Amino acid sequence: MGSVARLLLLLAAVASCAAGGLAATTPRLDGMRVRLTHVDAHGNYSRLQLLQRAARRSHHRMSRLVARATGAVLPAASSTSSSKAAAASSGGGDLQVPVHAGNGEFLMDLAIGTPALSYAAIVDTGSDLVWTQCKPCNECFNQSTPVFDPSSSSTYAPLPCSSDLCADLPTSSCTSKQQCGYTYTYGDASSTQGVLATETFTLAKEKAPGVAFGCGDTNEGDGFAQGAGLVGLGRGPLSLVSQLGLDKFSYCLTSLDDAGGKSPLLLGSAAAISESAATAPAQSTPLVKNPSQPSFYYVSLTGLTVGSTRVALPRSAFAIQDDGTGGVIVDSGTSITYLEVQGYRALKKAFVAQMSLLAVDGSAIGLDLCFQAPAKGADQVRVPKLVLHFDGGADLDLPAENYMVLDAGSGALCLTVMASRGLSIIGNFQQQNFQFVYDIAGDTLSFAPVQCDKL
């Protein structure tokens, strides 16, 4: 082959990478270990406040996810009203990446551009796009770090309308400069709008060049103010895990009682169940694809057991419907588990029948089903076990602290499961002190009980 032909092939390869983002795993990021810190780790909140705040965030996120799954549009909440609600409910050798929680439960510290500008972004397993606010802002929310100025970075490159990743956006357009314009919405009228570009991102001290991201100059709605954007970890081609070429990731979330504990997030080759730390064998269930919602991590929930009783439900109770609604997703950003009304009512009935306590209203905490604990203490109460059954024979046998929480002040012992319509969500209360491995290449979700702060 002649030198000119080789040069043309090289240029074509470079152009292909520039147009489509990262084409292969970035070796230095494969095997990375990231530490996650709970949203309320440094808030000095009482247990009641922790429960209220977690419930409020969960309800807000559930509404967003359900709206996306059903195609509904929720009224947008203003940042001011959100702040007031927050104040009312709050009362005031491994590569380590500091992470703080936000409305999507966690914010990851990272850096963008050359020279690198540090900022924090919400980590979201329920969406794909990586984006941050950019100058010049047409409409931007307040953030604690400087807004990214693409004109100050030597590695910023807007993507053309013809790029493959531009075609992967749910909504895109061609700007007057033939750049890829995007609009990305989150179901409740929250949205980001701007230009899709590539840039060098830095996690810990490792750089990932050529990551496609949304450079948002028009960003509105409730839920983003704790960060300066979002990092999508969903199943689509625009997500960070997809762009880095990582075929799996894993996390292990510490309990609410250990809000200051560190929860590991493992990327790529590091994402495997720790056999030495697991207290029971790992179990696996298939990840299910829903063409209507390709970003979500769906699983097939086949049944529920309360105590020694299998809850009477048709297998179709949690199935994905022909119109794309229904189904069950696993989501680290939602604290509470939400079940379709039919399933929740059956679960609630089983708990009421088996708990030898008076059922009380849990609305003050933000939950539905609570029981009045005896004066001698909740530790004397025998709580029926809860098991979630999945396709393939996997059983998530939950310890009581993963689905029952106590407000010591009121003596209310509450179930952290509620009802929803259009989508069921397995939240992070139920996932605490279990290691979950999302094998994207193998379409498998695996889990095992692990003391996460020891992992």
Q: How far is CA 182 from CA 58, 196, 321, in A?
A: 28, 6, 29
Distance CA(200)–CA(210), nearest Å, equals 6
Beta-strand pair 106-112/117-124: antiparallel
Beta bridge partners of 96: none
Q: How far is CA 211 from CA 198, 199, 344, in A?
A: 5, 5, 41
> For the chain, what is the total number of helices (H) and then of strands (E)?
7, 29
Closest by CA position to 284, among listed 375, 395, 133, 159: 395
The amino acid sitting at 255 is S
Q: How large is the angle between the packed helices 47-70 and 79-90, nearest 10 degrees?
A: 150
| 124 belongs to the catalytic site | yes
The answer to whether the CB of 73 falls within 8 A of the CB of 188 is yes
Nearest 5 degrees, angle CA 23-CA 25-CA 29? 135
Amino acid at the residue 115: P
- Are the beta carbons of 266 and 274 closer than 8 angstroms? no
User: CA-CA distance, 118 to 200, in Å (whole number)?
Assistant: 12
* Cross-strand partners of 40: none
Dihedral (C-alpha) 346, 352, 353, 355: value to the nearest 10 degrees?
A: 140
Give strand ranges (E) for 269-319: 283-288, 298-299, 301-306, 309-310
Catalytic residue among 109, 124, 128, 439: 124
Considering 109, 128, 168, 331, which one is annotated as catalytic? Answer: 331
- Report the distance separating Cα 434 and Cα 443, nearest Å: 19
Integer Cα distance of 230 and 102 in angstroms: 10
Q: Is the peptide bond before 115 cis (omega within 30 degrees of 0)?
A: yes
Those residues whose C-beta lies under 8 Å from the C-beta of residue 2, and which sit 6 or more positions away, are none
Residues annotated catalytic, as ranges: 124, 331
